[in-house]
Amino acid sequence: MLVGVGQVRGNRERTVEGSREPLPLILDAVRAAAADGGVDLATVDSVFTVHVASWAYDELAARIAREIGAGPRHTVDTTVGGQRPAELLERAAARIAAGGSRVALIAGGEAQASVQALWRNGIDPAQRWSATPGGPPSFEESGLRSDAMAATGLILPTRVYPLFENALRAARGETPERSARASAELYAAFSQVAAANPAAWNPEPRTPEEIGTAGPGNRMVCEPYPLALNAMPMVDQAAAVLVTSLAAAREAGVPEERIVHVWGGAGAHDAVDVLARPGFAASDALADVLDRTLSATGLAPSDLDVIDVYSCFPVVPKLVGAHLGIAPPVGVTGGHSAFGGPLSSYTLHALVAVTERLRSVPGTALVHGNGGYLTHEHALVVSTTPHDYVGDPESRSTARPGPPVQERVDGEEVTVETATVEHGRDGTPAQAFLVARTESGARYCAATAPGDTASADALSLRHGETVGRRVRATTKGEHVVVES
């Protein structure tokens, strides 16, 4: 059960003086969680840490344990993945249910804003921050991309998630304008939630017009997402949660009304190579974890008082809503754009926000985390109602083979399966990323050459729906030339 939660925000002003490395920020969150739950940190017997990308630490969980005076029997440091907090809570709860642990700590955080502030002022963070054990920022990409994705330039989330958004929109028969409006309305609702979250990075409410209109200060990044519909990773935020057995909670004197019970959930993963998946309008892994979580807990979507979904880009909550037969859920955290997107730690903040909500308004919540490119998924249920743990901490594969791949085309007509156009800072189409089907049904994937504005413009939504459009494509070296 969740008995203590804490989160902090630092250096929102992005000053050199206010810059701190992630570890002190994380320790502040840990101590806040301990104060919230009235738990003696010396009793922690398991420490789990979410990957920190803004500064590297060797054996972070063990270092946190030393800093808080704990002597854990079990420590875990993870690799990158937005699903990790939900997965770690599942693992901690499973160990406690099996009698292998009594008090577990899960913690994580980022200081990307401080890293950015130091570099902008000509200061190498290594001059100020831990050198041993620590070092320059790292980002382990294992399990996040394939060689085919790298060859096509699809190595940035800002380029990949629009492929899913555009495919989903077309599959649902929505116009680009209506779909874009729905995204803006969703993120405006997130901003309203973030305004009430004390740890939010951007706590100012915004209108759908402000969010959805591309222009100065809100440039188009990759169609159809202007900047305000992208995650904001340049933040200093950290969070921590304490999970205990019921006996340990009672020994610590935690009031019954402040306990949130972990019922359990499920994890799944799809093919790492998004270009090898059967399609782009759905996520098998996401559907699987939602179905298994609800099945294991005996719940229907209508039984959930809160659904808090990972929201790095609008397509993720849209997919969750579509699968559950509800509107895209807004949740209680605030979303990656308004609340902030501290990389792998966002769902840890969601667990804080959900716990606080359930304490004030008793009920049941589903919390979801997403990693990679709709690659790694984990969902679980927490509630103020007691329940035996019924989850599954192991992730299972939902990968299915996609269509055969054709590596080159020579002036032939292809049908756009999905595509996105990346814009330059001046607002003009700069490069397009195309996934298409040939006459034989094979899949062809390529990017236009940077600066080939004619080819990029041929795939732009400004001409109307892209998906299903037939275009003439010719492979030129590593890129493709597209004519409408």
Question: Considering the domain boundaries, does residue 306 fall inside one?
Answer: yes
* Distance from C-alpha of 341 to C-alpha of 82, rounded to nearest angstrom: 10
**Average pLDDT over the chain, rounded to whole?**
96
Report yes or no: 53 and 80 within 8 Å, Cβ to Cβ.
Answer: yes
The secondary structure of residue 354, as a DSSP letter, is H
- Mean pLDDT calculated for residue range 211-236: 97
pLDDT, residue 130, reads: 83
Structure confidence at residue 142 as a pLDDT band (50, 70, 90): low
pLDDT tens by residue, 341-359: 999 999 999 999 999 999 9
CATH number at residue 102: 3.40.47.10
User: Are 384 and 427 in a shared domain?
Assistant: no
pLDDT tens by residue, 237-288: 999 999 999 999 999 999 999 999 999 999 999 999 999 999 999 999 999 9
Tracing tokens 């909550």 back to the chain, one arrives at: 317
Question: Considering the domain boundaries, does residue 141 fall inside one?
Answer: no
User: Are 360 and 241 in a shared domain?
Assistant: yes
- 133 preceded by cis ω (within 30°)? yes
What percentage of the chain has pLDDT greater than the value 70? 98
User: Are 274 and 327 in a shared domain?
Assistant: yes
Say yes or no to pLDDT of 134 above 80. no
How is residue 347 written in tokens? 């769902």
* Distance from C-alpha of 222 to C-alpha of 463, rounded to nearest angstrom: 15
* Distance from C-alpha of 420 to C-alpha of 442, rounded to nearest angstrom: 20
Q: Which of 199, 196, 35 lies closest to 110, judged by CA?
A: 199
Question: Considering the domain boundaries, does residue 17 fall inside one?
Answer: yes
User: Are 242 and 362 in a shared domain?
Assistant: yes
Question: Considering the domain boundaries, does residue 226 fall inside one?
Answer: no
Structure confidence at residue 144 as a pLDDT band (50, 70, 90): confident
* Distance from C-alpha of 52 to C-alpha of 1, rounded to nearest angstrom: 25
User: Are 355 and 419 in a shared domain?
Assistant: no
C-alpha distances out from residue 361 to 66, 275, 358, 372, Å = 36, 43, 5, 33
Q: Which of 294, 308, 269 lies closest to 400, judged by CA?
A: 269
Amino acid at the residue 43: T
- Tell how far CA 284 is from the center of its chain: 17
pLDDT tens by residue, 400-456: 999 999 999 999 999 999 999 999 999 899 999 999 999 999 999 999 999 999 999
pTM: 0.96
SS3 184: helix
Q: The dihedral of CA 175, 181, 184, 189: what is its sign?
A: negative
Q: The dihedral of CA 239, 315, 338, 189: what is its sign?
A: negative
Question: Considering the domain boundaries, does residue 186 fall inside one?
Answer: no
The secondary structure of residue 338, as a DSSP letter, is I
User: Are 343 and 478 in a shared domain?
Assistant: no
pLDDT, residue 141, reads: 54
CATH number at residue 474: 2.40.50.840
How is residue 303 written in tokens? 């039984």
**In the listed set 362, 397, 432, which residue is the last one of a domain according to the structure?**
397
Say yes or no to pLDDT of 139 above 70. no
The burial of 132, by beta-carbon neighbours within 10 Å (0-12 exposed, 13-18 middle, 19 or more buried), is given as exposed
pLDDT tens by residue, 455-471: 999 999 999 999 999 99
Structure confidence at residue 140 as a pLDDT band (50, 70, 90): low
pLDDT tens by residue, 65-110: 999 999 999 999 999 999 999 999 999 999 999 999 999 999 999 9
Question: Considering the domain boundaries, does residue 65 fall inside one?
Answer: yes
pLDDT tens by residue, 319-331: 999 999 999 999 9
**In the listed set 363, 397, 431, which residue is the last one of a domain according to the structure?**
397
E runs forming strands in 148-292: 220-222, 225-226, 236-244, 261-269
Q: How many domains does the chain have?
A: 2
User: Are 27 and 122 in a shared domain?
Assistant: yes
Check residues 56 and 303 and name the one with the higher pLDDT. 303
SS3 89: helix
User: Are 429 and 370 in a shared domain?
Assistant: no
Tracing tokens 């969070």 back to the chain, one arrives at: 239
Residue 475 belongs to domain spanning = 410-483
Structure confidence at residue 127 as a pLDDT band (50, 70, 90): confident
Structure confidence at residue 58 as a pLDDT band (50, 70, 90): confident
Report yes or no: 209 and 184 within 8 Å, Cβ to Cβ.
Answer: yes
